Amino acid sequence: MNSNDQLRYLFFLFVTLTIIINYSIPVQALEKGRCPTPDAVVSVSIKNIPSKVIYKNGHSRSDIERQQLKRGRHVSKGKWKILGLTQTEFKYTLKTSAKIKKITGGNYCAYPASYDLEIGYTDFVVYIDRKYRPGTCEYQAILKHENSHIAIYKNYLKRYLPYIKRRVRTAALSVQPVVISTPDQGTKFIQEQVQRQIRPLIERLNREADYSNARIDTPESYRKIQLLCENW
């Protein structure tokens, strides 16, 4: 294999970010009326979404390219050939409940009752070109590269999770009751108070993880992988 051939293979990691929240414009507290002191402390639950790594080695290179296109990604032509692809989704779901009390003037008081956050990655699905069978040098080289991507994303989540948990708890305890004109406004307002506190951390987590993954997806990295084996 000559030096030009060594740069004709490309390994992809594709991660999508899915955020499940109730986006809304925060309602404004009415000037008239005040909410009594809450009689209960807000409940906060935070769970890490479990994920598995699923390896699929029965797909052709064209199959892998189609998988990439399904997610709206461009398939490289000419210089690069796709040998491996990892797909997952990063999700966080913030569910909020509120306690509503009717007050004078036909208005209501909304108190934060609970915040339930679920955060993590869906299953990592790794596709490896079926041309390279398990146990071969080439298969192991592709597998190691894809596993490196998975490790980076998992490590960043592990690193940021304590900060996110702390931010959620602090934000939840700081949310004050609000006077509203209709009951459904309360939950939306209370949710947004916490959502806007954790959103920057989530964005930073994904930005740094993407940057770290991009650092191992370079021509130099691919060249080193190609040099490990002979039968590409």
Name the nearest CA neighbour of 19 among 114, 123, 94. Answer: 94
Q: Give the per-residue pLDDT at 99.
A: 92
Q: Which residues contact 224 (CB under 8 A, 6 or more apart)?
A: none
- What's the pLDDT tens digit per position in 125-179? 999 999 999 999 999 999 999 999 999 999 999 999 999 999 999 999 999 999 9
Q: State which residues of the chain have pLDDT below 50.
A: 1-32, 74-75, 77-78
Q: Which residues contact 35 (CB under 8 A, 6 or more apart)?
A: 101, 103, 109, 111, 176, 177, 178, 179
The tokens of 15 are what?
Answer: 């991660």
Q: Give the per-residue pLDDT at 33.
A: 54
- pTM surpassing 0.85? no
1 three-state secondary structure: coil
User: Strand (E) positions, the chain?
Assistant: 9-20, 43-49, 53-59, 81-102, 108-121, 124-129, 178-180
